[in-house]
Amino acid sequence: MKITGCETHAVTVNFEGVMSGTHVVLRLKTDQGIEGIAYVSRVGPRNIRAMALVMEAMVESLAGLDPTNTEEIYRKIFGSSLGAPVSGLELRAASAIDVACWDLKGKAVGQPVWKLMGGFRDRLPISANWALMPGPPKDKLQAHLENLVSRGFKAVKCPLGFATMDAAIDHVKFVRAVVGPDVKIIVDLNFQHTVKSALHFARETEEVDLYWIEDPVAFHDYDGMAEVRANTKQTITCGEVFQFQHEFKWLLEKRGCDNVMIDQDLGLTGFLKVAHMAQAYGCPVVNHLAPEALSHPIAAVPNGLIVGLVPWGQPLFTEQMQVEDGNLVMSHAPGLGLTLDEDMLKKCAI
């Protein structure tokens, strides 16, 4: 199989009227008529065109190469001509191409990516990560939580970094009262605390039994993360903004967290490398965004903990992620098991 080119689509889609996202979708074309799919999010509106152009130029440089040789492609696109790693839009484009190559590899051999990567399990816990911040009236929040539980979710995530301390503590107590003792509650502090205020929050919410506290302090403060982790009984999760393997190495060596959160920016190839590195430190791994792609390496490895469902990419695809009794049911379809919704791509093009 050889790479022949690509198509990109810039779209803004909305999930159930509560969460919208702007994405650049990549379709990586081959001489065998099959295509690999990926999307990147978190690109500012002014940079959407640039993102697509960088992707297209990078794919052009890969013409004629076999996309199923994922390590060969990974080395070419994540390394610059000077041997240093790429960064910025180039790195984000490289991550999408890597995801699309894995999709093609699965399609080429008729196997799902999670199975090719190790196939540890085909059902794994999933959390609902949308519309759970403080602010809306409590009855609205209660109705949303009850709806999530009725849809089979047994874990929810609340972003609380921008709430006051009192509002954040009150929020998790309210969520616990609504969902009862059997639903996991995850709290994201979004890098907004000092070590002292993070530890205060951790102490005040011990009785709520949180599943984890995420990003308590600044993302570059490895010592601060380690200090928080060492001084609370609660579980700490960090890593979502890291784009390079060495940052995870520093995080793990510092014992900065209990769970490692990995973004799609590392590509699926890089995700897998970090997941194996974390296993050596006894740390479970979870995804940051892009659940359609990142659920695959989490399902593949024994230290994959739970998939976080941020659903803003779901409208791009004709099939939705299947949740049953708190678990994500992985598709057995080849590749990532995704089919682009052609009408949606046209209707929501920007």
Rounded alpha-carbon distances, angstroms, from residue 53 to 15, 50, 56, 230? 27, 5, 5, 45
Query: Nearer to Mg ion by C-beta: 240 or 341?
Result: 240
Asked if residue 205 lies in contact with residue 220, where contact means CB atoms within 8 angstroms, the answer is no
Is 94 strand, coil or helix? Answer: helix
Query: Nearer to Mg ion by C-beta: 133 or 333?
Result: 133
Query: Nearer to Mg ion by C-beta: 188 or 292?
Result: 188
The number of residues that bind Mg ion (CB under 5 A) is 3
Interhelix angle 195-204/165-179, nearest 10 degrees: 30
Query: At its nearest, how many Å lie between Mg ion and the CB of residue 188?
Result: 4
Query: Nearer to Mg ion by C-beta: 214 or 221?
Result: 214
Q: Which helix (H) or strand (E) holds 26?
A: strand 19-30
Residue with the two structure tokens 């929020």: 171
Query: At its nearest, how many Å lie between Mg ion and the CB of residue 66?
Result: 36
Which residues in the 200-259 window bind Mg ion by CB under 5 A? 214, 240
Q: Is 341 in the site for Mg ion (CB under 5 A)?
A: no
Q: Of 25, 45, 102, nearest to 297 (Cα)?
A: 102
Residue with the two structure tokens 């993302």: 219
C-alpha to C-alpha distance for 167 and 169, rounded to whole angstroms: 6
Query: At its nearest, how many Å lie between Mg ion and the CB of residue 240?
Result: 5
Query: Nearer to Mg ion by C-beta: 103 or 188?
Result: 188
Query: At its nearest, how many Å lie between Mg ion and the CB of residue 168?
Result: 14
- Contacting range for Mg ion; rule: CB under 5 A; set: 79-87, 181-189, 219-227, 272-280: 181-189
The residue from 98, 188, 221, 265 that contacts Mg ion (CB under 5 A) is 188
Query: At its nearest, how many Å lie between Mg ion and the CB of residue 55?
Result: 25
Query: Nearer to Mg ion by C-beta: 263 or 341?
Result: 263
Q: Of 293, 266, 312, nearest to 105 (Cα)?
A: 293
- Contacting range for Mg ion; rule: CB under 5 A; set: 17-25, 106-114, 123-131, 182-190: 182-190
> Helix count (H) and strand count (E) of the chain?
12, 13
C-alpha to C-alpha distance for 129 and 186, rounded to whole angstroms: 9
- Where does this chain bind Mg ion (CB under 5 A)? 188, 214, 240
